[in-house]
Structure 1
Amino acid sequence: MNTAKKHTLLLIDDKSANLIALKSMLEKPDREIITCNSGNEGLQILLREKISLILVDVQMPEMDGYEFVEITKQHPNTASIPTIFVTAISDEAKYVNKAYDLGAIDFLFKPLITEITRKKVDSFLKIWDYDQELKKLNEKLVAKNGELEQFANIIAHDLKTPLNNIKSLVEFIEEEHLLDLKEEATDLFDMVKSSAMSMSKLIDDLLHYSKNVENNQGKEAINILSEINAVVKLINPNGNIKITKENLNHNISFQSVAFKQIIQNLLSNAIKYNDKEITEITISYNEELQQIAIKDNGPGIPDNQEEKIFQMFYTLGKSSRGDSGTGMGLNLVRKLAERNEVKVHYNTQYKSGSEFIISELQTT
């Protein structure tokens, strides 16, 4: 029964006797071993074969091992192939450093010791296997990201369509019944249109964020007060909600859309889960500690659940107003914070409600 070849090794040496000896050390049923007598021949082989590991002699006529490796590392199709130098040259630092600078991964010094040679080759072939698996996973991830981007576009379209319909209907009613509307009704219609436009803009921003922002890219200097004012305007709290802002006129480095999303989630939770007649929320910035605190006068988080609330799909049940969350908000808050290299945690020492801390902020 034929055994499938898992790896292909390329051995390069101008002396055939050396190739025969090295090949005999490394032969295994799942390996194909290709030998050649020059660097030029080796380059030709690399054009048509998928090689897992190269072992190349340093001292060869016409093109030595150093020149061969220098060429392979300049081509994207061969740059990542692990290469071991096989040499009789002294192991002085200047020779070793030159090889590593060119991109070689290790040395084998002649006369070769069979056991050491086999173990080194086995180890680097395992590294090759891991590298190939990572490439496959990365390809799958790229494909999945493409699917998610397409899904985000569909969701954005489906969300914006009813918002545009609402805006059009309100405008139609205003035009047809303008004379019949009282001043209070006109103000309400303006609020509906403004909220619809704000939501449409938020959807556009989130779609842009999901498509174009990765890790900590896109950070900029933002003003805490301006960003929070924009969020408060979007939430549009009524007379039963009192929001106090303290010392917020400072600039920090943050992704603007991510910051707004974090603040909106934390404020929405503070309002939704509050059990008092008047909801009181305080947003403050501490210059010395470089942190933002958002605290409220609600019921707080039950003991031993301070970390669970950041888990995906974990909820505390129905809010004081009867609705329930999806369990995604605080998980998103933490992920957005991590993307911006900051931390978000619940302050267990605060006993007059809930307090969330955004810490390790970078000022500008």
Structure 2
Amino acid sequence: MASIPWLGSCCIEAQILVYTLLFGLLGIAIHKKLRTRHVSLDPQGRAVLITGCDSGFGNLLAHRLLSMGFTVFAACLFPDGEGAQALRAHASPGELKVLRLDVTSDKEIEQAKQYVQDHLPNKGLWGLVNNAGISMWGMVEWLTIDKFQKVLDVNLLGSIRTTLAFAPLIRKNKGRMVFLSSINAYISYMNSIYALTKAGLEKFCDSLRLEMKQFGVQVCIIEPGNYAPATNIQPQVAPEKLWDSLPAEAKEIYSKEFIKDATNFVKEKLESGNKNSYEVVDAIVDALTAPSPKARYLVASLAEKVAVYLFLWLPTSLFDQILHVARRKSKNA
């Protein structure tokens, strides 16, 4: 390897790092150039299936895609609920198809697939947006295996079920698959259930993206930061209710005062989140329509992005220590 003049006699590891950074920056520049090429995607006659359209990102995305001219299959857990009714009020029956879908049910997945096949527009199914998800927080010892299974079944296995069912239709049209992950796939504290489902989803998508590339199908991951106020994905839990739900062994270790402090900490963090859902929806729309979409869209605050980058680059022990100090300061503030 030829040495870089201004590095002088620096060690070979430093030169490798610099080369890596330079090639990385060059790759980013080329990628941005390719993504800015104007290729018009006509939404007319193209359908997108979105799971979890009752509220949050899914509901807002359905409204956006309808306004763009897509045919939207809005999968709702409660097809007669407020979210579904709001969609019906702003769309014609030809543009919008509301269907009942519990992503934990193999039977409902099959019924949804048949319904979609029977009502596809002329250009077929262009996009699948796996948005349905639930959240649950708490230290590992506070949780039961039933709670782990419940969240896994929705967030991870639910997305896998819909992917297995609808991949043939997406592949036929060389379309897009979009998955809602989270920065918690990287950074986790008192939300092990949610974090492990998102980390699992990331690795599933990494395999799927490479497998689908040969068919012209793009697989994209959306990684939002803290958007709890915008989605209400994490219900507030009273300290007393949380204490009552703890296993007997946990009550011997954690005091009621600790439970109260933890509840207040989580409440403050959730309430400090971003309220602008449109930022995440913008990223999903780009993933569905851009000529060369990103593999990952990190939609987060500057502080959250820095935290993710530090997690990826720093030794784990050092990163853990930084988080420990930061949380102690936050608690004492």
TM range (shorter): under 0.3
Give TM-score scaled by structure 1 length.
0.21
Give TM-score scaled by structure 2 length.
0.22
Of structures 1 and 2, the larger Rg is shown by 1
Larger RCO, structures 1/2 (Cα 8 Å, 6+ apart): 2
Normalized per residue, the structure richer in strand is 1
Normalized per residue, the structure richer in helix is 2
